[in-house]
């Protein structure tokens, strides 16, 4: 059964502390398929968002920070004048978890607003 971006965005992140294994390659591919424009790169999922100007980038980054705080799951963010690159990995599992995909979906929903 495929999971849609809206289904992922409606979920809440779960604690990954302890012995939670990372997702398998098949699970990663299935979840990545449900996201728009995210790519697997060096064990991370990444996406670059483009904007008209620096103000829009900063508004986006601040909103991503708010989502990250609420979910207690934080990405690495790199930004420039009109773009922002977001990277997710779950360090405590040593790979990707469902939390990475939940947060990616929430950001995609935000970006479409």
Domains of the chain, residue spans: 22-111
Percent of the chain topping pLDDT 70 = 93
pLDDT band at 4 (very low <50, low <70, confident <90, very high): low
- Classified as helix, coil or strand, 113 is coil
Mean pLDDT of 41-68: 96
pTM: 0.89
Half-sphere exposure of 3 (CA within 13 A, CB side): 17
pLDDT at 18 over 60: yes
**The pLDDT of residue 1:** 39
Question: For residue 39, what are its two tokens?
Answer: 């790519």
CATH topology assigned to domain 22-111? Gyrase A; domain 2 (3.30.1360)
Give the β-pairing of 39-41 and 44-50. Answer: antiparallel
């Amino acid at each position: 059964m495929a999971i849609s971006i809206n289904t992922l965005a409606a979920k809440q992140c779960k604690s990954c502390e302890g012995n939670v294994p990372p997702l398998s390659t098949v699970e990663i591919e299935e979840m990545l398929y449900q996201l728009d424009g995210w790519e697997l790169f060096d064990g991370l999922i990444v996406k670059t968002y483009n904007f008209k100007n620096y103000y829009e980038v900063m508004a986006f980054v601040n909103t991503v920070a708010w989502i990250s705080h609420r979910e207690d799951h934080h990405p690495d963010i790199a930004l420039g004048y009109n773009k922002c690159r977001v990277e997710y990995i779950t360090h405590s599992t040593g790979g990707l978890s469902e939390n990475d995909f939940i947060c990616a979906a929430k950001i995609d929903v935000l970006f479409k607003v």
